[in-house]
């Protein structure tokens, strides 16, 4: 007899995975902030944009993790996760395609020891998780809405 995971259980698992990802990555940047800023300066961004990113990126990652914690904001957390992972994935794809004049060093945190190609695969998996979570969350919200309108 086959057993399937119901969508609520799957949704809870996807949510938990993304919360762990965002909170870990944000706090790894905050804990070693000087190293994080140094890694950003090795990227292709301007110095001004790097300064903004050094402050904004951990804050957005924490916000994303917090949004995922609550039922009312979970969909926003999934959408923001997908957006962030889409941006990160596109950036890595540009690096790998040779779009930039040089290949910047990879950033630290979760991906410190991974090659750019491995980071691309990692990001694609988490982009899929965020998109699947968004879909399941929308489906769950519609079902809840239908259930309350029937009563």
CA geometry: angle 12, 15, 20, nearest 5 deg: 125
Domain boundaries, the chain: 7-150
Distance, CA of 41 to CA of 81 (rounded, Å): 24
Looking at residue 77, its pLDDT comes to: 98
pLDDT on residue 111: 67
pLDDT of residue 114: 83
- Residue 13, Cβ neighbours under 10 Å: how many? 13
CB 106 within 8 A of CB 112: yes
How is residue 127 written in tokens? 């982009």
Q: What is the pLDDT of residue 1?
A: 53
Residues in contact with 101: Cβ distance below 8 Å, sequence separation at least 6, in sequence order: 44
Could you report the average pLDDT of every consecutive run of 10 residues in the chain (151 residues)? 78 97 94 89 87 95 98 97 96 90 67 84 97 95 78 59
Question: What's the DSSP call for residue 102?
Answer: S
Question: How does DSSP assign 44-70, residue by residue?
Answer: SS-HHHHHHHHHHHHHHHHHHHHHHHS
* Chain position carrying tokens 């910047």: 104
Look at residue 39 in the predicted model and tell me its pLDDT.
85
């Amino acid at each position: 007899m086959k057993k399937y995971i119901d969508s609520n259980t799957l949704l809870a698992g996807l949510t938990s995975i993304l919360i762990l990802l965002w909170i870990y990555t944000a706090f790894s940047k905050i804990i070693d902030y000087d190293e994080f800023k140094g890694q950003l300066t090795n990227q292709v961004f301007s110095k001004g944009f790097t300064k903004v990113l050094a402050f904004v990126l951990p804050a957005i990652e924490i916000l994303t993790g917090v949004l995922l914690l609550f039922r009312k904001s979970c969909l926003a957390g999934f959408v923001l996760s997908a957006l962030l992972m889409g941006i990160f994935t596109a950036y890595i794809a540009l690096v790998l395609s040779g779009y930039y004049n040089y290949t910047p060093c990879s950033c630290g945190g979760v991906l410190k020891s991974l090659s750019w190609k491995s980071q691309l695969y990692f990001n694609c998996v988490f982009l899929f998780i965020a998109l699947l979570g968004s879909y399941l969350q929308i489906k769950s919200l519609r079902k809840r809405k239908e259930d309350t309108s029937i009563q």
